[in-house]
Amino acid sequence: MATPFSNIRIEAGDRERSATWYQKTVRNVANGVNQPNEVFGSDLGEYATRLEVGQMYTFQYDPKHKETLPYYDTFPLVIIADPLPTGFSGINLHYISPMARAKLLGKLMDQSESELSEKSKMLSAWSFIRNFSKFPEVRNSIKKYLTSQTGRMYKVSPVHWKSAIFLNTQQFVGATDSHVYRTSMASKPRKRRQV
């Protein structure tokens, strides 16, 4: 098994590192981790037997109604926000530019923990993140996933979250990464009620 993420963690040491440092280090150390089989064969995490709100997962996805979608991600990186009867909803971080992902991760991390551990969770429950004025970056990145359309769920170890957000694993069909980032960050005009 390749261990680029343990190497990044060792290199980070006990010092707080910037998002720019993580972005550059992931690019240099985990450059070959771009495809699902490379992620699953690395030390980024492990296959999950159950899903938990506040955890980060990656998986292969084949949307049931893909012909109706302008674009979609076939290898999402999702923070689970809400379990649903036939699946779950979550923040697909691939719809957000890498540096905006880092900013959002900082907002969502549980502030009661001084450092990330295997038991860390993010504040990602729908009741918390639905305040789009506080979290504008999630506005167009909340997606619903049908369990019947997902591959095996791979849980990203919390100690590697800061590295995972900079992996170039998004696999958009129907649009380029830059188009998705622009579209996702654009706020839709609010409809005002008629009086």
What is the average pLDDT value for the chain, to the nearest integer?
85
Q: What is each CA distance from 121 to 52, 108, 115, 193, in whole angstroms? A: 9, 9, 11, 38
Q: What's the rounded Cα separation, in Å, for the pair 150 and 168?
A: 20
Instruction: Name the 3-class secondary structure at 19.
Output: helix
Among 71-85, 132-146, 156-170, which stretch is predicted with the lowest mean pLDDT? Answer: 132-146
**pLDDT for res 97:** 94
Q: What's the rounded Cα separation, in Å, for the pair 9 and 144?
A: 32
pLDDT tens per residue across span 45-97: 999 989 998 899 999 999 999 999 999 999 999 999 889 999 999 999 999 99
Among 11-15, 26-30, 106-110, which stretch is predicted with the lowest mean pLDDT? Answer: 106-110
Q: What's the rounded Cα separation, in Å, for the pair 97 and 86?
A: 29
Share of the chain above pLDDT 90, in %: 54
Q: What's the rounded Cα separation, in Å, for the pair 176 and 127?
A: 31
**184 is written with which tokens?**
């996702």
Q: What is the CA radius of gyration of the chain?
A: 17
pTM of the full predicted structure? 0.85
